[in-house]
Structure formats: structure tokens, C-alpha cells
Structure 1
């Protein structure tokens, strides 16, 4: 399916019917607080649901308790091994490319500021990191796993945001479409899959087409579990490229919320990196992965590390050579990658498990700027031609 302006416009009018109906009923019956309290005890797949859980929530959890019937488990295992082999690189791409890309979509940046607040980027980063780690565990879809309950809760979280913004008339549906609409959900899926693969390529990581396709396939499964319309989602990397390019052209641009979220993200990771000498590498990595135009929109600081970070692909190439030629070296690097990911996640979560809950209220000071236009387009810099 080739995405068009018309097809993407249609996706802006669609949300997630099942999750939206569930959340609406919980609010109508005043059961959101009860649901959130009891759902803190539902953290693993297959665990008995607690007594007193609202019936509408119980039904939703039953319907969404299993992955799609079409899942190819051989592909999912390939995706898991791809993640294990590249976990530190994927974590880097998620942190320094995928998250800033979200901030490059003005209406998404404003929505994020409404749900988490501009002062707490660590919450969203911790939730995203924890969600990805849950996904790539061998038992992700088995009894006792944490991934399925996390997906169920995130889906309801998205629905609750749609509920609040529309009920309180704090979102211009006519101009911007439904909040967290199908187009934006698929766009987010592209940021966490296709953009990650782009970033690995930019970092000089050698990966097979088969591995890349499997990784993308895993995020298709994630999208299905988060309520993404499978008739609209790109089915392969070629379709994903066309969707991502058109989505970027339609929506990417500068915004004050995007700038502030990026600043907070940079400060957050400067705290994670030990000492202060390497602090500038955070900004340099973001600029390297998203490009100068997007980095300037986000006001990512420039510095001397901008040049140094361009040597990262050569360094990673040396490490890959060691990994290819030495089984012990491969084990050591994989172990280092696992420890790096765990360290980063534990730093963001402060060692706690992140609980996804339905917010009973959004930020009181939230207000969507009326200056944001759905027709605001990204105008790439003109190509430089050699004469």
C-alpha cells in the first residue's frame, strides 16, 4: 500500500475503538481510581486478575491478553537475537534519535508536555526503555512475562489522553485530527523501528537485511498490540520507508515544547554519563543521528564533540571485527551491551518498576497553541549540486 496525503488524512480521524470505549466507561462509572489501584498488582501475563476489578476492564484485559494470531514466532526469535546482538546500539538509537524525533513533531511534543510535564522526561524514557526490554526477552509472550500487561496498560494510557483532550475541548480535532490518532501511532512505530535501523546504519553497524526485517516485524507486532490498524500499517521495510518519509514531510518542524523536551533529555543523559568530561557527547550524538537541520530546530548545542563523534562508526567497526573473530570477544561485548542497557534503565527508573496508569487529570496548565497548523510542512534544505 502506497501512503498518500489522503490516506494519512483519513488516519488522523481514527483512534482505538476498543481502548477508547473501555476508558470512556471507566470514567463514566467513576472506576478509574479503583482500576489503577488494582492494576498495580497485574504485572505479569497469566496472573489471576484481582477481585473488584471493573467488569469492562476485565473484559478488555481478556480480549487483549494474547498477541495477534498471525504472529510468526520464527521471525520474533530472529528479532530478539538481533536485539541481543545490537542492544547497546539500539538503546543509543532509541535514546538519541527516536525520542528527539518525537519532539520534532510539534503537536506530539505538545501532547507529551500535557501528559508527563516538561520537567520529567526521565519518566517517558524509563517507560520506553523498560517496555523495549520487556519486548525483547525470550519469554515476552509467555505466562509470567511483563510485556503483555505493559502493552495493555500503554494502550489504555493512550486512550485516556484522547478522552481527556476531547472531553475538555483542549484539542482542535478539526485542525489536528484525533489526539494520538492512527497516523501518529504508526509514525511512532516508525520512529522506534525504521528510524532505529537508519541510526544503526549511520553509526556504521553492519546488519543483515534479514535481521533488519525481523526487527521491524517485531514492532509490527507491538503496533498491533497497541491498537494500530493493521490494514494501514506498512507491511515491510520498503513500505515503512515511504510512510516515514511522507509523515516527516507532513508534520516535522520546530516548536518551543520540542526544544524544551530536548533540553531536558540532554540534561537527563548528562546525569547518566559518569563525570562531566563526556557530557558534550550527548548533544553530539543527537546532532549526528538526526542531522543538523532537525538538531537546529531542537536547538541542540553545537560543540567540538560534533567532529569527534563522526569517528564512532570506525570505533564500532573495530569492535565488530573483534566480535566476529573471537567467541570470547563476542561474549564480552554482548555482556557489556546488556550491562550498559541495564545500567541506563536502572539510572532512569531509580531501580523501580514503572507502572503505567490512566491519568485522572492532565496538567492543569496545559494549553495547545492555536498557532500549530496541520499544513505546516518540513521544507528540507536544497540539495547541493556539484558543478
Structure 2
């Protein structure tokens, strides 16, 4: 799909009709607390819904209980294998590129600062990591899988934030559009898909075209289940490049909130890294993946490790070559990647399952006016000039 200035502006005025209506009804009837309590018992697809759920919630859960009819399950399996092959690299990209990219959009950074949970960045990172792991499990969309209930809850969480900001008059809709509007949701979809692929390429990870396109496709399915209008979503990586370039040029820039959220993110991972000697590598990785200008906007300090990090692609290139040429090496590195991802996620969650709930209020001080073939190695679509 080709986006014009007018069509993109129209996306800023659109939210998520189904989820917005559900949340509005829950608040109007005073049923949010009861809904959140009962939904803690809904964690796997296909399980009986608890008695006492509000009627409007039951209608929403039934309407969103299955993935879109157009899903190509062959592509989803390719995406799962791609994730298994690159899980630790994807986790790195999500943490040190995708999340900082969100903070580079000032109105998004302000919006993220509205939730109490962002005082505890480990929670958001744990929720993001857990969500991705749920998505890439073999049973993600089957009975017993955890992805569908997680997607249903996240979609309502976004609607609740829109509800609070608009109802309390704390968001300049005329200037900024609807909170968590369609343009921003598509932009977020690009951050978690195309930008991840860009980051893997920058790190020197070997990817096939088939794997890269399948991974992007999987996030299109995710977007559909989170209420993103798929008629407006780029259908290919080349179209995604044009959209992302335009989106960033339209919106990215420095902000106090963006710098604050980035500092929280850096502090979080410095605490995860044992000792203090390697702490600067966190800032260096962010700077390497988002670039100097964006890193400066986010207040990411320069460190002597900035030069060291530039050697990472060469080291990963050696490991990737081993993986390409040796089935045993590929198996060993996949297992190591899996264990590293599990360790990182368990450090963030502290062994708990993260629950996604409708926030009953926002911060009061917030204000905004198998393996895939490795032939045909993937390279990012060329940068466009909006």
C-alpha cells in the first residue's frame, strides 16, 4: 500500500473500535476491577472462561479468540524456526534497538511515561520478551497456548490508555491524533519487525530472505490480533521500509521523557550484567544499533566500549559461519541461544508470569499537549527519502 500525507494523517485519528468500545463499557459499568481479577485465571487458549465475566468482555474475548482467517501457517512455521535460530540476537535487538526507537518518538515516550509500570522498566521488558516467546512457541495459536490470551489483554490495555487520556483531557487529540493511533501501532509493528531485522543485519547475523520475510509476516499476524488495520499495513519489507522511514522523519526527535526511559532501560540491564566492568557495553550496544544522532537524542553516553562493540559483527560472523557449515555447531549455538534467552527473561521476570491488565488509572503528573535454508542471504531494503 502507498501512503500519502493525507492517508497517514487519517491513521492518526483512528483507534481500535472493538477494544475501545469494550473498555468504555467496562469503565461505565464499574466492572474493570472484577474483569482484571477474573482474567488472571485466563492464561491459555481454549480454557473455559471463568463465571462472572461481564457480558461485554465475553463478547470481546469470543470475537478475538482466533487468529485472522488469512494466516499462512507455513509462513508462521518458518518464522518460528527463524526465531529459534536467532533468538538471542532477536532479544538483543528488541532490548537495545526496538525499545529505544519507541523512545525516539516524543509523543510515544510521553504516552509510555503515563503508566505506573514504566517506573519499573523490567516489567515492560519482561512483558515484551514473554509476549515474543509466547508467539514463537509451536502451540502459540492452539488450545493450551498462551499467546492468544496475552494478545487479547494487551489490546485492551492499549484501549484503556486511550480511554484514560481522552476522558481526562490529558491528550491533545487535535494536534497529536488519537492516543496509540493506527499510525503509531503500525510504527510499533515496524519497530518490532523490520527494525529487528535491520539490527540483526547490523550485528552481522546471517539471515535468509525467506526467514526475514517470514519473521516480518509473523508480526503482521500479531498486528492484526492487536487491532491494527491490516489494510493500512505494508505488505512487504520494501513497503515497510518506506513506511518506517516516513514515520521516523515525521515524528522522531529528542525529549526529556525519551531520555529518562532510556536511562531506566540502561540501568536495568547494567543491573542484569554481573559486576560493573561490562556495564558500558549496554550503552555502546544501543549507540551501535540506533546510530550516534539518535543515541545523542536519547542521552546515551559515549564510552570506550563504543569501539569494542564495532567488533561484534566480526565475532558473530565467525560463529554464524560455524553454524552455516556444521549441523552440530548449529545445534549447539541454538541451544546456547535458547538458554541465554531463558536466563535473560527469568532475570527480568524473577520467575513470575507477567499479567497484562487494564490500568484503572494513569500517573497523575502526566500531561501532553526445523531450520530454514540459508541461501539468498537477506539484506535490508534500501533507505527511502520521504
In structure 1, C-alpha distance between the alignment counterparts of 2:75 and 2:47, rounded to whole Å: 27
Structure 2 equivalent of residue 138 of structure 1: 138
Q: In 2, Cα distance between the equivalents of 1:117 and 1:295?
A: 24
Distance 1:260 1:118 in 2: 10
Name the CA distance, whole Å, in 2 between partners of 1:92 and 1:192: 12
- 5+ long unaligned stretches in structure 2: 370-386
Report the aligned-residue RMSD: 0.8
Deviation for aligned residue 1:30:
0.5
Deviation for aligned residue 1:326: 2.2
8 Å CA contact 2:118, 2:124 repeated in 1: no
Q: Does 1:14 align with 2:14?
A: yes
* Cross-structure match for 2:47: 47
Matched positions, count = 369
Aligned twin of 1:206: 206
Which digits, 9 at most, give the CA deviation of each residue in 1:16-68, with x for residues without a partner?
00000000000011000000000000000000000000010011000000000
TM-score, reference length from structure 1: 0.94
Superposed displacement of residue 329, structure 1:
1.5
Structure 1, unaligned runs of 5 or more: 371-387
Correspondence 1:365-380 to 2 at 5 A = 365-368=365-368, 370=369
Name 2:309's counterpart in structure 1: 309
Q: Tell me how far apart the structure 1 counterparts of residues 118 and 74 of structure 2 sit (CA, whole Å).
A: 41
Name the residue aligned to 2:245.
245
- Tell me by how many angstroms 1:181 deviates: 0.2
Correspondences of 1:181-200 after superposition (within 5 Å):
181-200=181-200
Measure the CA separation in 1 of the matches of 2:44 and 2:139.
11
Q: 1:74-112 deviations in whole A, cap 9, x for unaligned?
A: 000000000000111111000000000000000100110
Name 2:26's counterpart in structure 1.
26
Structure 1 residues 147-172: Cα deviation after superposition (integer angstroms, max 9, x where no partner): 00000000000000000000000000
Assess if the C-alpha contact under 8 Å between 2:117 and 2:123 holds in 1. Answer: no
Q: CA deviation at 1:207?
A: 0.7
TM-score (norm 2): 0.95
1:216 equivalent in structure 2: 216
In 2, distance between residues paired with 1:117 and 1:126? 11
SS at match of 2:339: helix
Please give the alpha-carbon distance, in whole angstroms, between the structure 2 residues aligned to 1:329 and 1:117.
40
Decide whether the 8 Å contact of 2:322 with 2:329 is kept in 1: yes
CA, structure 1 residues 204+299, in 2 after alignment: closer, same or farther (shift >3 Å)? Answer: same
C-alpha contact (below 8 Å) 1:115/1:363 kept by paired residues: yes
**Using a 3 Å threshold, how does the CA distance of structure 1 residues 280 and 129 change in structure 2: closer, same or farther?**
same
What is the match of residue 379 of structure 1? none
1:178 and 2:189 are equivalent in the alignment:
no
Kept in 2: contact 1:23–1:163 (CA 8 A): yes
Measured against aligned partners, the alpha-carbon deviations of 1:117-152 in whole angstroms (never above 9, x if no partner) come to 552111111110000000000110000000000000
Q: Retained in 2: the 8 A contact 1:26–1:56?
A: yes
For 1:117 and 1:321, how far apart are their aligned partners in 2?
Answer: 41
Measured after TM superposition, the shift of residue 249 of structure 1 is 0.3
